[in-house]
């Protein structure tokens, strides 16, 4: 079963819409029993880091998600803020992330990148050919981004894709069964569909 985690941080509807359009089943839920029973868990997210952490903790999700990450039969996909939550911490807040991937989330420095912030719009990706999310994808893919913060990691093996916005930043990670994308596949036309399909078929 695929579950889209509904923790009050927006955007569950569009992820569901795209999954349904591809004729896959999924549910939207915030119940611990549903999350525990799922073999695919999608953590979407729009909003600020700390408010997301508080909501996940209020729902008792930290332990469940961390346990799921240890289960080799289960897969987790974080989208946008959902990907940032997989890391240890963020400059946007003071509360701890899920800590499933070693690294910190930082804010784009306007002076350093010489670009307007937030990074809003379509951008290209340079994917690692070994990536599972991008397997079999077409050339010159583009994805929709909306964010002011980006993840950094000292664990280069988990970086599966980078994009550039004045600087190169990590736009997708995969570490065992924990995966994350900074962009919004659910808003990225056929490129997003192909990526979500890869995840759903893992």
Partner 1 sequence: MIYKRVIPCLLLDEDSLVKTKNFAKPNYIGDPMNAVRIFNDKEVDELIILDINCTRNRREPNYGLLKDIVSEAFMPIAYGGGIRNLEQIKKIVNLGIEKIILNNHVLKDVKLIQDAADFLGSSSVVVAIDIKKSMFGGYKIYDHVTRKTSSKNVFDHINEVIEKGAGELFINSVDNDGIMSGYDLHFLEQVLKITNVPVIVSGGAGNYEDLAKALSAGASGAAAGSIFVYVGKHNAVMINYPEFNVLKNLKKDYGLQ
Beta bridge partners of 165: 167
Among 5, 18, 77, 172, binds partner 1 (CB under 8 A): 18
Dihedral over Cα of 71, 90, 59, 14: its sign: negative
Question: Where does this chain touch partner 1 (CB under 8 A) — which range of 35-43, 64-72, 93-101, 118-126?
Answer: 118-126
- Choice between 35 and 79, CB closer to partner 1: 79
State yes or no: cis peptide before 48, omega within 30 of 0: no
**80 given a catalytic annotation:** yes
Binders of partner 1 in range 138-157 (CB under 8 A): 142, 144-148
- Choosing from 92, 161, 186, 189, the catalytic residue is 186
d(CA 145, CA 181): 10
Q: Decide if 101 contacts 178 (C-beta within 8 A).
A: yes
Locate tokens 């599966």: which residue? 160
Q: What is the residue whose two structure tokens read 């996909």?
A: 77
Q: Which is nearer to partner 1, 28 or 36 (CB)?
A: 28
Catalytic residue check, 184: yes
Residues of the shown chain interacting with partner 1 in the complex, contacts defined by CB under 8 A? 10-18, 21, 46-48, 51, 81, 110, 115-124, 142, 144-148, 164-165, 184, 186-190, 192-193
């Amino acid at each position: 079963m695929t579950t889209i985690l509904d923790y009050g941080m927006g955007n569950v509807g569009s992820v569901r819409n795209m999954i349904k359009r591809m004729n896959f089943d999924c549910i939207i839920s915030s119940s611990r029993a549903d999350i525990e029973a799922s073999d695919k868990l999608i953590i979407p997210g729009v909003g600020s880091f700390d408010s997301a952490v508080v909501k996940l903790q209020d729902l008792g999700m930290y332990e469940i998600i961390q346990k799921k990450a240890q289960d080799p039969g289960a897969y987790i996909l974080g989208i946008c803020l959902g990907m940032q939550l997989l890391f240890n911490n963020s400059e946007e807040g003071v509360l701890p992330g899920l800590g499933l991937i070693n690294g910190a989330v930082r804010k784009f420095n306007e002076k350093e990148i010489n670009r307007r912030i937030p990074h809003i719009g379509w951008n290209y990706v340079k994917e690692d050919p070994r990536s599972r999310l991008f397997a079999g994808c077409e050339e010159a893919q583009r994805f929709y981004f909306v964010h002011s913060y980006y993840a950094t990691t000292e664990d280069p093996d988990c970086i599966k894709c980078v994009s550039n916005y004045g600087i190169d930043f990590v736009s997708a990670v995969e570490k065992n069964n924990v995966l994350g994308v900074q962009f919004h596949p659910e808003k990225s036309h056929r490129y997003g569909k192909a990526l979500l399909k890869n995840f759903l078929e893992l």
